[in-house]
Chain A
Amino acid sequence: MEEKKSLWQEFTKGLIRENPVLRLVLGCCATLALSTSASNAIGMGLATTFVLICSNFVISLLRNIIPDTVRIPCYIVLIAGFVSFVQMLIEAYSPALKAAMGIYLPLIVVNCIILGRAEGFANKHKVLPSIFDGLGMGLGFTLTLFVMGCIRELIGSGTILGFQIMPTSYPGIILFLLPPGGFFVFGILMAITNRIAEGKGEPVSELGCAHCPMAGCCSISAQKEKGADK
């Protein structure tokens, strides 16, 4: 029972409390680029979730085998393998989605959520919690993307998932489908998250070294730690 409860916690923490995009500030590029419509958002979210679960699974299996000094290159190769797999699947079954995602599909490799969770969770935990962590984080990512996609699609073209929501006379604010709209909606969502976190006495979301996958081999974070020691 104890075991089950903690697995459930690993799963749910990614959805809201440690939402990868809004709380940990990981994977912003994909979030901004693919939230132009709700369906793109779901496609991107599920593709990333799949890669995340697979990579968390394999990396936590191999966590005692991969030497510590070369772990980042190993992780990157593993992740790239899974991404190529997803890429070919999507190309075979949904060419339209492939066209919509374009360059961002192969770029899942460098999505910091995946490397961040590999480095921050999977290489320290057992297989089962890692899978649940991947699932929760992936769905949290999908959820955020979907919410952003809905907002941008609704304001930008008056539809959600292609269904007309606004009256047909609504002209649509094209700006929300263009890059500035992405930044704007993301900023507002971030502000709302911060406001809620503030109410609960939790720290505001910040893009720092804490969740950055490269913190271990980067001297900026080493400098900051030194500064903090002084």
Chain B
Amino acid sequence: MDFKSLLAIFLAAILTENYILNKFLGICPFLGVSKKLDTATGMSVAVIFVMVISTAVTYPIYTYVLVPNGLSYLQTVLFILIIAALVQFIETVLKKYIPTLYRALGIYLPLITTNCAVLGITMLVIDKGENYIEALVNALGSGVGFLVAMVIFAGIRERLEHNDIPKFLRGLPTTLVAASLTAVSFLGFQGLVDGMLR
């Protein structure tokens, strides 16, 4: 568990296993709030925040409470509950103690409860059998990957707004085809991390 393997996990989570473009998790916010750069960044930062914190909380609960007691089938129910409670808690704490951060991120927090990216990462790190540090790095990397995809896309969509596109292709269809082309370019990173660091 050296620095190199952690870096490999981090880069893989951003580039080769990008949450949006490769795993299709968090498509709703991706299509819904990527219209403007500032909302896209706000949403992604909130997602990074919640992803890391919920992984930090669910991982020990799964390993030290559910598994020793043979309750691992409760994973789905418990995780979604923990995430919902956690998001609520973060919202309250931010509102009380860090109002500036709350104003920036607060509006996105309720949306994140039912975001599959968050539930996805907490389950994925357990599926992969990563240890605690690796899991946290993976969560951070996946969050950053989400941010990268959202920011790239906000730029593309701001450009698309001004183009003359047939009416039935406007909006979602063009966005999806553009997402497809972006995903093709992200395929180019395949093997990069293995080749460089492992």
Q: Which of A25, A106, A197, A204 contacts B76 (CB 8 A)?
A: A106
Q: Is A178 in contact with chain B by the CB < 8 A criterion?
A: yes
Q: Which of B76, B106, B167 has the most CB of A within 10 A?
A: B76
Chain A residue total in the interface (Cβ 8 A): 54
Mask, B114-146, CB within 8 Å of A = 1, is 111001100110010000000000000000000
Report the bound CA distance from A195 to B169 in whole Å: 8
Contacts of A72 in B (CB 8 A): 113
In the complex, what residues of A have CB within 8 A of residue B183's CB?
A: 178-180, 183
Contact indicator A25/B172 (Cβ below 8 Å): yes
- A110 and B119 contact, CB distance less than 8 A: yes
Task: Choose from B107, B116, B124 the contact partner of A218 (Cβ within 8 Å).
Answer: B107
The residues of A that contact B27 with a CB separation of less than 8 Å are: 28-29, 32
Question: A181–B168 contact, CB under 8 A?
Answer: no
Separation of A84 and B33 alpha carbons in the complex (Å): 30
Instruction: Using A191-B168, A214-B110 as known contacts, say yes or no to A186 and B23 having CB atoms under 8 A apart.
Output: no
Across the interface, name the chain A residue whose C-beta is closest to B175: A187
B164 to chain A minimum Cβ distance, whole angstroms, is: 16
Q: Which residues of the other chain, B, contact A184 by a CB distance below 8 angstroms?
A: 176-177, 180
Residue from B106, B107, B176, B181 with most neighbouring chain A CB atoms (10 Å): B176
User: Can you name the residue of chain A whose Cβ is closest to the Cβ of B33?
Assistant: A220
**Measured between C-beta atoms, what is the minimum distance from B172 to chain A in Å?**
5
The 9 A-B residue pairs whose C-beta atoms are closest, nearest first, are A187-B176, A183-B180, A191-B173, A184-B180, A180-B183, A194-B168, A187-B177, A80-B77, A32-B24
- Cα separation A32 to B116 with both chains bound (whole Å): 13
Residues of A within 8 A of B123 (CB): 103, 106-107
Among candidates B21, B23, B106, B173, residue contacting A188 with C-beta atoms closer than 8 Å: B173
The yes or no answer to A198 lying at the interface (CB within 8 A) is yes
Residues of A within 8 A of B175 (CB): 187
CA distance in complex: A32, B180 (Å): 11
Residues of B contacting A217 in the complex (Cβ-Cβ under 8 angstroms): 110
The reply to whether B187 and A80 contact each other, CB–CB distance below 8 Å, is no
Report yes or no: B84 in contact with A73, Cβ–Cβ below 8 A: yes
Interface SS of chain B: helix
Q: Which of B81, B124, B169 has the most CB of A within 10 A?
A: B169
Q: Which residues of chain B are within 8 angstroms of A81 by Cβ–Cβ distance?
A: 77
Interface pair B26/A214, CB less than 8 Å apart: no
- How far is A136 from B175 in the complex, measured between Cα atoms in Å? 28
Q: Is B22 an interface residue (CB 8 A)?
A: yes
Question: Is there an interface contact between A110 and B80, defined as CB atoms closer than 8 Å?
Answer: yes
On whether the beta carbons of B22 and A80 are closer than 8 Å, the reply is no
Q: How many Å lie between the Cα of A110 and that of B23 in the bound state?
A: 15
Task: Tell me if B170 counts as interface (CB < 8 A to partner A).
Answer: yes
Contacts beyond the supplied A182-B24, A206-B171: 8 A-B pairs with Cβ under 8 Å = A33-B24, A77-B81, A88-B73, A103-B127, A112-B114, A183-B177, A190-B172, A205-B172
Q: Does B197 contact A (CB under 8 A)?
A: no
User: Is the CB–CB distance between A218 and B110 below 8 Å?
Assistant: yes
Picked from A29, A180, A208, the residue with its CB within 8 Å of the CB of B180 is A180
**In contact, A109 and B119 (Cβ under 8 angstroms):** yes
Is A115 in contact with B114, judged by CB distance below 8 angstroms?
yes
Query: Which residues 82-121 of B have a CB within 8 angstroms of A?
Result: 84, 106-108, 110-111, 113-116, 119-120
**Other-chain residue from A102, A110, A180, A218 in contact with B187 (beta carbon distance below 8 A):** A180
User: In the assembled complex, which residues on chain B have CB atoms less than 8 Å from the CB atom of A219?
Assistant: 106-107, 110
Known: A204-B167, A204-B170. A186 touches B32 (CB 8 A): no
Chain A residues with CB below 8 A from B84, complex form = 73, 76
Return A111 CB to nearest CB of chain B, in Å: 8
Residue B57 is within 8 A (CB to CB) of chain A in the complex: no
Q: Is the CB of B76 within 8 A of A175?
A: no
Q: B residues within 8 A CB of A156?
A: none
A73 to B114, CA, bound (A): 10
Within 8 A of B (CB), among A177-230: 178-184, 186-188, 190-191, 194-195, 197-198, 204-208, 212-214, 217-220, 223
